[in-house]
Structure 1
Amino acid sequence: METEEGEDCTPLLKESQPGTVPACCSARYNLALLACFGFFLLYALRVNLSVALVDMVEPNTSLAKNTTSNVCPEHSSTRNVPRNTTIPGGYLASKIGGKLLLGFGIFGTSVFTLLTPLAANLGVGYLIAVRALEGLGEGVTFPAMHSLWSSWAPPLERSKLLSISYAGAQLGTVVSLPLSGLICYYMSWVYVFYIFGALGVLWFFFWMWLVSDTPETHRSISQAEREYILSSLKDQLSTQKSVPWRPILESLPLWAIVVAHFSYNWTFYTLLTLLPTYMKEILRFDAQENGFLSALPYFGCWLCIIMSGQIADHLREKQNLSTVCVRKCFTLIGMIGPAVFLVAAGFTGCNYALAVAFLTISTTLGGFCTSGYSINHLDIAPSYAGILLGITNSFATIPGMVGPVIAKNLTHNNTVEEWQTVFYIAASINLFGAIFFALFASGEVQDWAVSAHHLHRN
């Protein structure tokens, strides 16, 4: 049971866990690797437009900015504007299964990517429509993956399995940025969409053939692994057919995740969109001109995600630390760290190398959150993890819309002081989210999340 303060601070009850099954060639790790490649392709499909756009537009097309600062000497002139589109997909995943939703989400994104060159030739309106439809496919993927892991991830392996699968997103960005540039240079920009789109369609067929929604329905899983997974989850999954919406929305641990997700995304989008703008408008240097510098922050984050997943489960299983302790510590590191270096970026002067270093460190430290609040949905309500992620994702899209607008209104003159204010705001929001999560997060399955209405330690 939880303490009076609502914080489950006792170690995991490892005696309730059956003997583990080797990871090598196991069905659950095969799922993690296939999901990793799926998210790799998904994010490659997301960023390819930003690279190909350079060759898609007319050479003499430019977007002049009269407010560019003259504080620092100019280094380059190109600009990349990333995008983000998401919709709650958890409820759909609970109804039709995470396998189909994730599979068709990436398949749809791949098909519309293949249609991008045609849409570009037809006109800007068609291109925008195709990319918007891609966003619909992308938006359901993370809730669908959470829904799948609710049936596949043994509690003491959640950090490892989820970090492997979701790290593909960062790796996709790392590889696709320079690779898309090479394809444009040696072939044509249309092949950026054809190659990655075709790989996505090919992945879909492997996904549908090899993946099952549950261990019970998997065709080639060993009996030992099936029993291991089912035994480890037997007291955590709900048999209720209806979704307990009111208890979900009244759950303070859920709102702790919502606040952390919202706050983290505010800083994330600041790093993703506003800091590159700061580097261009103030430092007069654009890291997008250098494929290595563009990919470096995401490579650091990818390494951090993989390593933090291993460390988190090691601390829970070998060091006997409670789930809530690990989730809170990793969230604090993954949110306060980026906030500190984001503020520091505002004081780099004209040293763009230092600015890139701070950007890389900030993005890298953010990888700790994958083993923090990001998978906490599975800790508190495995059966409804997809729905919970859909809820938190809905709130987490707000910073991507509001943050740039506020930044634009605060940087009319593009002065260093104005941008420092933008960074201070983002860092403060991140700090608040980290503290809120540390105070109210939980690591136990909530009573409303199981049919028997009892708390079960994970």
Structure 2
Amino acid sequence: MARLTLRPDNHFFSSPIHAHNHPFLSLYTLTPRSFPHHHTPLRSRVKCSASGTERVRESKKLPKSPPIKEDLPNPGSESSDALSTEKTGIEQNWPPWKNIPERYKLIGATSLAFVICNMDKVNLSIAIIPMSHQFGWSSSVAGLVQSSFFWGYALSQLPGGWLSKIFGGRKVLEIGVFTWSFATALVPLLAGFMPGLIFSRILVGIGEGVSPSAATDLIARTIPVGERSRAVGFVFGGLSLGSVLGLLLAPPIIQTFNWESVFYLFGLLGIGWFIGFQFLGEEEVSHRGDETTTSHKPENATREELGNSLKEIPWRSFFKSSAVWAMIYTHFCGSWGHYTCLSWLPTYFSEALSLNLRDAAWVSILPPLASIFVTSLASQFADYLISNGVETTTVRKICQTIAFLAPAICMTLSSVDIGLPPWEIAGILTAGLALSSFALSGLYCTHQDISPEYASILLGITNTVGAVPGIVGVALTGFLLDSTHSWTMSLFAPSIFFYLTGTVVWLAFASSKPQKFTKDHDS
């Protein structure tokens, strides 16, 4: 046995090392402790007995352990093939969206386009406040500027549908997005020149006006019937999200930088979308039953088909139907309240309720945000009634009546001076405007109820008339505000009037019974 003797003036620490895997032999490595200013010479004596010396000699005769080798795969082995296959699989699945079906990418991109669409629509309703202060605009001029968007929007409804049939919804959509985005970025450059400013907003309206028809055509070409309802909801749901984001982002951008920056940034978003959209696939599919086949119609054939279809549309038969006229007037009434509030509520909250720009924008977010929730409830409510045997016409009348009477009552409460604080008035208006979303289960379903074949044409007709309040109503609100200096008379009273008269007309003449519209050849 080896004995280690250390003198007190030596300082060591030791670590055991098992040599040669011998179970009984341990060697010690002695290392002097390091002191920066004091070095002590190493003095030690190791005494080994004879038996200990013999064990050391025997241990030296033991064979050395072979070095441990890691089992690395050979280039041609099965494990190497597995590793290469795994790497190839990772490369094939990257980026994560690489294997997503092309139609889902198109629908996602289209929904994003609609988000940007409403962001560019509502940004002026916030920016108009500092713009009016800078350029000294009256309420009439501000109303004229805001209403110019709807001139282009109204004029492009039916042409957008025709162009989508000729060139395809994808092409029309991307041109529409580029048009409104480029025109949005031009607003700061043309703001000091009124004709140029109005022209730029008309271009924004034209670009956004062709987009609903283009999206509808894109969905019809790329989405099978079993997925179409969800696709429509996902795409057009981007409008509400765009309103929320636009009203949420515009105030801090304006306060941090200036009002010009909100148009530049939002315009660049759309141009960036246009560039990214070019990288998506071009495939169009037609769905018949359970089969999916690729279809590429020649452009000339599509034009010929469009010409024939336009000649066969029973225009006179449409306008002989009292149900169609009920839809037209109801759409006009609903749009009056919607567009005037969309354009003027931020100013109302800022001036009448004395909220600052940020708070006014935050409050303006509440109606579209609440509408998302109300829309889901309204659709389930309507489907529940129909599935339980309630007549479809009755269900549509109930939903549309809620959509009109609720905001009329809430606007009446808001306009009467009963001493309500600003936040309660904002809450009442939010509730009323959110409940107006019941129209999606009322008026907006009736086109399909009475004629699935001509539903898109009927929607184009009523939507064109429905865009007129954006032109007349928004500008008239500003004119009445300058004349009366009363928000009740300029904003709320006209909307209440149209809500009430629209309810009467709808209850009297609306119908969801299928109608056969035939071509009238008599002149």
State TM-score, norm by structure 2: 0.62
Cα gap change, 1:395 to 1:371, in 2 (>3 Å): same
Structure 2 residue 252 is the aligned partner of structure 1 residue 177: no
How far residue 43 of structure 1 moved from its aligned partner, in angstroms, is 0.9
Report if the CA contact (8 A) 1:282-1:415 is conserved: no
Partner deviation per Cα, 1:294-334 (whole Å, 9 max, x = no partner)? 21122112332344345544555x54555434333221211
Query: What does 1:335-354 correspond to in 2, within 5 Å?
Result: 335-350=404-419, 351-354=421-424
Partner in structure 1 of residue 158 of structure 2: 90
Cα gap change, 1:223 to 1:150, in 2 (>3 Å): closer
Supply the RMSD in Å over aligned alpha carbons.
4.3
Partner in structure 1 of residue 290 of structure 2: 224
Report the count of equivalent residues: 395
Cα gap change, 1:52 to 1:213, in 2 (>3 Å): farther
The one of 259, 265, 283 aligned to 1:195: 265
The one of 376, 386, 393 aligned to 1:324: 393
Query: What does 1:431-446 correspond to in 2, within 5 Å?
Result: 431-446=500-515
Any unmatched runs of 5+ in structure 2? Answer: 1-99, 294-305
Partner in structure 1 of residue 31 of structure 2: none
Q: State the one-letter code of the partner of 2:206.
A: L
Partner deviation per Cα, 1:30-53 (whole Å, 9 max, x = no partner)? 766544322211011122234455
SS of match in other structure, 1:216:
strand
Structure 2 residue 116 is the aligned partner of structure 1 residue 36: no
Report if the CA contact (8 A) 1:99-1:208 is conserved: no
SS of match in other structure, 1:331:
helix
Structure 2 residue 468 is the aligned partner of structure 1 residue 398: yes
SS of match in other structure, 2:286:
helix
Report if the CA contact (8 A) 2:397-2:507 is conserved: yes
Cα gap change, 1:356 to 1:153, in 2 (>3 Å): farther
Query: What does 1:27-66 correspond to in 2, within 5 Å?
Result: 33-52=108-127, 62=136
Structure 2 residue 517 is the aligned partner of structure 1 residue 448: yes
Report if the CA contact (8 A) 1:341-1:361 is conserved: yes
How far residue 346 of structure 1 moved from its aligned partner, in angstroms, is 1.0
Partner in structure 1 of residue 323 of structure 2: 253
Distance (Å, rounded) in 2 between the aligned partners of 1:183 and 1:421? 30
The one of 496, 514, 517 aligned to 1:427: 496
Report if the CA contact (8 A) 1:79-1:286 is conserved: no
State TM-score, norm by structure 1: 0.70
Query: What does 1:120-159 correspond to in 2, within 5 Å?
Result: 120=191, 123-146=193-216
Residue identity (%): 31
Cα gap change, 1:100 to 1:181, in 2 (>3 Å): same
How far residue 216 of structure 1 moved from its aligned partner, in angstroms, is 0.5
Cα gap change, 1:98 to 1:376, in 2 (>3 Å): farther
Distance (Å, rounded) in 2 between the aligned partners of 1:310 and 1:212? 36
SS of match in other structure, 1:361:
helix
Distance (Å, rounded) in 1 between the aligned partners of 2:188 and 2:176? 20
Cα gap change, 1:257 to 1:363, in 2 (>3 Å): same
Report if the CA contact (8 A) 1:334-1:367 is conserved: yes
Partner in structure 1 of residue 177 of structure 2: 106
Report if the CA contact (8 A) 1:93-1:144 is conserved: yes
Distance (Å, rounded) in 1 between the aligned partners of 2:220 and 2:261? 37
How far residue 266 of structure 1 moved from its aligned partner, in angstroms, is 2.1
Larger Rg: 2
Partner in structure 1 of residue 49 of structure 2: none
Flag the structure with higher strand content: 2
Partner deviation per Cα, 1:120-152 (whole Å, 9 max, x = no partner)? 5x8444333222211111222234445556778
SS of match in other structure, 1:435:
helix
Any unmatched runs of 5+ in structure 1? Answer: 1-24, 66-77, 228-237, 451-458
Partner deviation per Cα, 1:428-452 (whole Å, 9 max, x = no partner)? 32122133223333335432279xx
